[in-house]
Structure 1
Amino acid sequence: MQFAIDIPHFGALSDPLLVAELAHEAEEMGWDGFFVWDHINYKLPDLPQAMAIADPWIQMSAIALRTSRIKLGPMVTPLARRRPWKVARETVTLDHLSGGRLIFGIGLGTDRSGEYSIFGETTDARAHGELLDEGLEVLTKLWSGEKFSYAGKHYQLSQAQFLPKPLQQPRIPIWVAGHWPHKKPLRRAAKFDGIFPLMRERALTPNDFREILGYVREQRTQDTPFDVVAGGLTSGTDKARDAAQVASFAEAGATWWLECYLPQHTLEQVRQRIRQGPPQF
């Protein structure tokens, strides 16, 4: 199992130089990855004013330049609100900048903070799913470096070709997020390189992961490596309890553990946990 820090790019954590320094500390302390959320708008119920928010792609560039080993990426990008050709340029450039360390986390996103509606975008979840699936097809074809045309419901490309190709081959790893117990995100994830399951009502358990992974395995048609991402918070101080917590998910099939922080957490809480190092089991 590998271990990563996952933070929102809000408030004090909107400072790209600070976040790059945190990622450097995480690398020094033995963490395997450092991921950031991808939002353009976010509201907290108890805060009437807007929050300070950074552009996550520029933050990730800063992280890439301040580190040399750890994986990095967005957790996760709502591809439906992006042009896939712009994302193709950003991801390949970041993959080269980082020396092939990018992991691309994707999902549908929500309109909870008006990230679609405020800007006149559709809020229909079915349309978002269509945009996501077409966007993934366009994105991976652009990554191939080959010339192609595409005629979909939402996107049309004529004789498009992007170079350079990503450093990582056959492609930049794609992790697909989805809310359990919905099955469509799991079928989507089975086509790619990893699954990041979430649940709105409660925290996922190791038994949930066994069920999720069992379904994904039924859908897989290839035997390439496939990551299963679990998330939560460990104490950093009770080593035995932390080890038992992450081991239970590893035994259920998880390959990554993310320390998932929320906007309500402070900079000092994040920094302290980074300095305590990843769980050991």
Structure 2
Amino acid sequence: MAELAYEAEQAGWDGVFTWDHVWLGMKEPFADPWVALSAVAMRTERVRIGAMVTPLARRRPWQVARATVSLDHLSNGRLIFGAGLGSPPDAEFGVFGEETDSKVRARKLDEGLDVLAGLWSGEPFSYEGEEYRIEDVTFLPKPVQQPRIPVWVGGQWPNRAPFRRAARWDGAFPTANDGNTPITPDILRDVGDYVGAHRTSDEPYDMVAGVENPMDDPSEVADRITALEEAGLTWAIYSFGSWNGTMEGTRERIRQGPPR
């Protein structure tokens, strides 16, 4: 993966992102994202990196805080932290005896994000929530990026709650409710309008979408990207893996660079 990331950087891609899954109910090999991204960070110099997205309810937030700060330093400030509920809940949580109730996981996600921000501050931090409790802890070093590592929040549109959550942070990553329907410019505008109505900050904000990736001709998606950019898109994420081609085909597609 580190070599693929290096080739992606050389070909002009702007970011290299991984899944954050444990099992997914499929017999496909994939790596732990934080181990893989550490290797990517050491092999690259420019591309942004991150896991899209981390089901924060499945992890202890103070451990995530330590891993993300370490990775932000390894990459010299290139990490983006993606967070969401995690899907599918049965495969991601239930088979391991963990909580599958969406309200509980949403509460853990919200509290977990608050804990991350507090620990990233490098200042003495205490927290009292329904799920997490912290007494006077100071995490050092601070992230390279200030005021914090950027946070993108994923969610299924047209569910509103994930995007009220996303409005508090630095970017929104919508997917369709069925998980397969592509995000259209109209959907992206609706999400952007909804998030914008709930924003309390004027800081720059990212709108992120997964984009279908033709393995043979990058120009096939150029028009679609333009339409999405006009609707507010700032990052288009393409999926590469064994489900849509061979490793050699993936490498060749990466070498072609992003659509232009």
What do the CA deviations read for 1:152-195 (whole angstroms, capped 9, x no partner)?
Answer: 00101111110100000010000000000001111111111001
2:67 maps to a residue whose letter is: E
Change (3 A) 1:239 1:111: closer
TM-score, scaled to structure 1: 0.88
Q: Is the 8 A contact 2:241 2:247 kept in 1?
A: no
Q: 1:240: how far off?
A: 4.7
TM-score by length of 2: 0.94
Residue of structure 1 equivalent to 2:212: 233
Q: Residue type matched to 1:246 in 2?
A: I
- Which of the numbers 182, 190, 198 marks the counterpart of 1:219? 198
Pick from 44, 64, 67: which aligns with 1:87? 64
SS in 1 for 2:9: helix
Does residue 274 of the first structure (1) align with residue 254 of the second (2)? yes
Q: Give the RMSD, CA atoms, in angstroms.
A: 1.5
- Structure 2's unaligned 5+ residue stretches are none
Q: Cα distance, 1:235 vs. partner?
A: 3.2
1:43 and 2:18 matched: no
Q: Aligned pair 1:54/2:31, yes or no? A: yes
Instruction: Give the equivalent residue in structure 1 for 2:116.
Output: 139
Query: Is 1:249 aligned to residue 228 of structure 2?
Result: yes
> What CA distance in whole angstroms lies between the structure 2 residues aligned with 1:164 and 1:220?
29
Offset of residue 245 of structure 1 = 1.4
- Aligned-pair distance for 1:113? 5.5
> Are the structure 2 counterparts of residues 112 and 126 from structure 1 closer, same or farther at C-alpha, using a change threshold of 3 Å?
closer
Q: CA deviation at 1:51?
A: 3.5
Q: Which residue of 1 aligns with 2:132?
A: 155
Deviations 1:206-244 (A, max 9, x none): 111011101111111101111001211243654554321
Matching of residues 6-21 of structure 1 within 5 Å:
19-21=1-3
SS at match of 1:163: coil
Q: CA deviation at 1:115?
A: 2.3
Contact 1:60 1:73 in 2 (8 A): yes
Q: Which structure 1 segments of 5+ residues have no match?
A: 1-18, 45-49
- Letter of the 1:65 counterpart: M
Counterpart secondary structure, 1:278: coil
Alpha-carbon distance in structure 2 between the residues aligned to 1:191 and 1:39: 25
**Aligned counterparts of 2:218 and 2:242: Cα–Cα separation in 1:** 25
Q: Distance in 2 between matches of 1:52 and 1:275?
A: 23
With over 3 angstroms needed to count, the CA separation of the structure-2 counterparts of 1:185 and 1:112, relative to structure 1, is closer
Q: Is the deviation greater in 254-263 or in 79-88?
A: 254-263
SS in 1 for 2:201: coil
2:47 and 2:30 map into 1 onto residues whose CA distance is 24
Aligned counterpart in structure 2 of residue 191 of structure 1, from 160, 163, 168: 168
Provide the secondary structure at the position in 2 that maps to 1:175. Answer: strand
- Are the counterparts in 2 of residues 149 and 156 from structure 1 also a CA contact under 8 Å? yes
147 and 246 in structure 1: CA distance in 2 versus 1, 3 angstrom threshold:
same
Task: Give the total of aligned pairs.
Answer: 257
Contact 1:102 1:172 in 2 (8 A): yes
Q: Which amino acid aligns with 1:135?
A: G
Q: Which has the higher contact order (CA 8 A, sep 6+)?
A: 1
